[in-house]
Amino acid sequence: MVRYSLSCADGHGFESWFQSAQAFDDLASRGLLSCAECGSSRVEKALMAPAVATRDAALATPRSPQEAMLAAMRRHVEENSDYVGPSFATEARKMHLGDAPERSIWGEAKPEEAKALIEDGIPVAPLPFLPKSRAN
């Protein structure tokens, strides 16, 4: 994932995440990007300073409202649900079928597993973070 600072032709600045630099280029060339403020499809990368994390910086308070919101979301999920790791799809299906007690869970699922859960009417949603053990 890569985060870019962007701006539109009217000078509005905003940030967005992309799967890769190529993904950004592909969406931009097809006119599929739009300004978060005015909706303009004339969006370009803005100048930005590189973010180099140090150990101290990684332990510091989040630098932006988005990072603070993600940190709060992570805390809420970790404190109020069970981490089931790579067994997420199996556990979600067991609960849906009544073979396991209902509870809040989170974990990891392969794309095809998540797609099968959705197709079977089992409510799931992706989280915008990885488990701490896999978050580098």
Q: Looking at residue 80, what is its pLDDT? A: 93
pTM of the model: 0.52
Which has more confidence, 27 or 47?
27
68 in a domain, yes or no? Answer: yes
What 3-state class would DSSP assign to 75? helix
Highest mean pLDDT out of 28-32, 42-46, 57-61, 96-100? 96-100
Co-location of 35 and 67 in the same domain = no
In this structure, the answer to whether residues 73 and 38 fall within a common structural domain is no
Would you say residue 51 lies in a domain? no
Q: Which two tokens stand for residue 133?
A: 């053990």
**Does the structure show a pLDDT above 70 at 123?**
yes
57-86 pLDDT, tens digit per residue, is: 555 555 778 788 888 888 999 999 999 999
Among the listed residues 15, 128, 3, the one whose alpha carbon sits nearest the alpha carbon of residue 53? 3
Tell me the residue type at 38: C
Q: What is the distance between the alpha carbons of residues 136 and 133, in angstroms, rounded to a whole number?
A: 7
Specify whether 63 is located in the same domain as 121.
yes
101 band by pLDDT with thresholds 50, 70 and 90: very high
Q: Could you give the CA distance from residue 38 to residue 85 in angstroms, rounded to a whole number?
A: 40
Residue 31 falls within a domain, yes or no? Answer: yes
Residues 73 and 112 occupy one common structural domain: yes
78, two tokens: 């970790």
State residue 20 phi and psi, 5-degree precision: -165, 170
Expressed as residue numbers, the domain containing 34 is 2-45
- 114 lies in the same domain as 73: yes
Give the total number of structural domains in the chain. 2
Question: Cα angle vertex 22, ends 21, 28, to 5°?
Answer: 95
58-67, 84-93, 94-103: the lowest-pLDDT one = 58-67
Question: H or E stretch including 45?
Answer: strand 43-45
pLDDT at position 133: 67
Question: Are residue 40 and residue 67 in the same domain, yes or no?
Answer: no
